[in-house]
A and B are shown apart, each in its own frame.
Chain A
Amino acid sequence: MTFLEKIYLPAILKGMYITLKHFFSKKATINYPEQKREFSEVYRGQHVLKRDELGRERCTACGLCAVACPAEAITMISAERKPGEENLYREEKYAEVYEINMLRCIFCGDCEEACPKEAIFLTDRIVVSEYKRKPFIYGKDILVEPLDPAKRIDVSARQTENVLKFKEDNRYSHNK
């Protein structure tokens, strides 16, 4: 070691200069409950099962989402619409049970891409933590959006122009 290295002081002062710079620099932490980190526009969080303008469930229990799901998180049981339930379900067939296991889900968004009825979407809501495994299996009570028009869940962020164009394209359309 040279003399300057041996007396430590220049190195110590250099180190102190660095720590002092950090002392005044911007903090990496955010004050979580008061201040939330901004999400991406197209963040993929908890799913929603949309209703149409008249409040009818769009899902027709075709099972394409379950087929598309790489994590095999979606299960459903279909049922036939009875006369008089036209105000509840848009199609003649609907999902009696629709469950997503949030512990299996990898939030890839393949289900909404597969959906021919514009029924399932991923939203910017966070799946809350639980103490047991059971509550993570979300049923229709959690997934289907509220009937009240004021409480509908906005998914316009997921329907960008590209997505809409893609959905309208006849070559890829499954909706006909």
Chain B
Amino acid sequence: MDWTLLIYKTVFLVIILLVTLLVAMYSTYGERKVAAFMQDRRGPNRAGPFGLLQPLADGVKMFMKEEIIPLTANRILFILGPSIAMTTALLTGVVIPWGDTLTIAGREFPMQIADLNIGILYVFAMVSIGVYGIMIGGWASNNKYALLGSIRAASQMISYELAMGLSIVALIITTGSLSLHEIVDQQHGMNWNVFSQPLGFLIFLTCAFAETNRAPFDLPECETELIGGYHTEYSSMKLGFYLFAEYINMFISSAVIATLYFGGYNMPFIDQLGLSSNAVSLLGTFFFFLKIFGMIFLFMWIRWTLPRFRYDQLMNLGWKGLIPLAMFNIFATGVYYFFTELI
């Protein structure tokens, strides 16, 4: 048993878990600030300097709220729902390469918890399980709004997962690998996939919005029609878990987008700087997080710009728009590689 590696992985796992939670926490703050700024307001600025303690205050408030489980609800499933949503949201971070390898005392430590050779498929699997949290929670509430919300969530997930998967197929044709680490390594320098797969990126981005239930695809929880959708009956920290899971999902999908399309921890002109390999790795991680925050900002920017889609528009866009487009993208990519490799 390699104890050093085991300890390192455990410590790294805990760090990633904490960072994920921290980023998700401050995403709620960021969301409110971005929303306020885009509406010419100031946003939270009372708790601490610039309102930086606001997430803490929100968390405390969530814990202090009364815990209500409706009498007609299925108790076990009612509790299981948010747990699944939270767990699956956190599990995805395992395969994401947060940085290059660190060399400490002659040993190499990769800044990735598990370099699965089917990394992308693992991400998809986790995202698909995530919808069970919403479905079970909505169904167990025994409330028609919650049920409608969860049905919407399920059908939306299925529709957009297809287009998402297809857009990834085209990417895999380009990279020739399913391992996220390898995909990032291939994008060294400015060789980012977004330039070779712009259409695939747009499709993936749109689907990522739908998968994370963010506006303009937030139909499962749309406040105006379904008074909260699947989490109508939830209160206290169980509601907090659902809301929090959404922000974790946003963080993770931003990380996945940055990994797949924006070169992960790669940055331009890094080879010319002449830094030691450890410094390059750490700087790469820093840049990776910059890219992630940029993506998170894009998520929020879109949310506070666009109105919600109508349900038939959502289905039209998914089935009649994105899936044929993704198919075309696969075809075009395939044809391109068929002919270039022939020569």
Contacts and interface: CB of A to CB of B under 8 A. Distances in A.
Interface of A: 9, 12, 15-16, 18-20, 22-29, 31
A25 B301 CA distance: 15
A124 B302 CA distance: 44
Nearest to B206: A8
Contacts of A25: 40
B38 A12 contact: no
Contacts of B40: 22, 25-29
B195 interface: no
A166 B34 CA distance: 54
B306 A12 contact: yes
B65 interface: no
A27 B39 CA distance: 8
A63 B162 CA distance: 83
Given A12-B306, A15-B305, A16-B301, A23 B38 contact: yes
Per DSSP, chain A at the interface is: helix
Given A19-B305, A20-B301, A27-B42, 19 more contacts: A12-B305, A12-B306, A15-B305, A16-B301, A16-B305, A18-B305, A19-B38, A20-B38, A22-B37, A22-B38, A22-B39, A22-B40, A23-B38, A26-B40, A27-B37, A27-B40, A29-B40, A29-B42, A31-B45
Contacts of B202: 9
- Name the 10 nearest CB pairs between A and B, nearest first: A19-B305, A15-B305, A19-B38, A28-B40, A23-B37, A29-B42, A16-B305, A22-B38, A23-B38, A29-B41
Contacts of A31: 42, 45
B304 interface: yes
B306 A28 contact: no
A15 B306 contact: yes
A52 B146 CA distance: 71
Interface in B264-308: 301-302, 304-306
Contact of A19 (B41, B45, B301): B301
Nearest to B34: A23
B340 to A, nearest CB: 28
A31 B40 CA distance: 13
A162 to B, nearest CB: 38
Nearest to A26: B40
A110 B268 CA distance: 73
Nearest to B40: A28
Interface string B39-64: 11110010000000000000000000
Interface of B is mostly: loop
Contacts of A20: 38, 301
Contacts of B38: 19-20, 22-23
B121 to A, nearest CB: 29
Contacts of A23: 34, 37-38
Centre residue among A18, A19, A26 by max chain B CB count within 10 A? A19
A17 B40 CA distance: 15
11 contacts: A15-B306, A16-B301, A16-B302, A18-B305, A19-B38, A20-B38, A22-B37, A22-B39, A23-B38, A27-B42, A29-B40
A6 to B, nearest CB: 8
Nearest to B309: A8
Interface string B305-336: 11000000000000000000000000000000
A23 B40 CA distance: 7
B240 to A, nearest CB: 27
Nearest to A7: B321
B237 to A, nearest CB: 31
Contacts of A29: 40-42
Nearest to B37: A23
Nearest to A13: B305
A16 B38 CA distance: 10
A15 B305 CA distance: 6
Interface in B9-52: 34, 37-42, 45
A24 B42 CA distance: 11
A27 B37 CA distance: 7
Contacts of B306: 12, 15
Contacts of A15: 305-306
A29 B45 CA distance: 12
Contacts of B42: 27, 29, 31
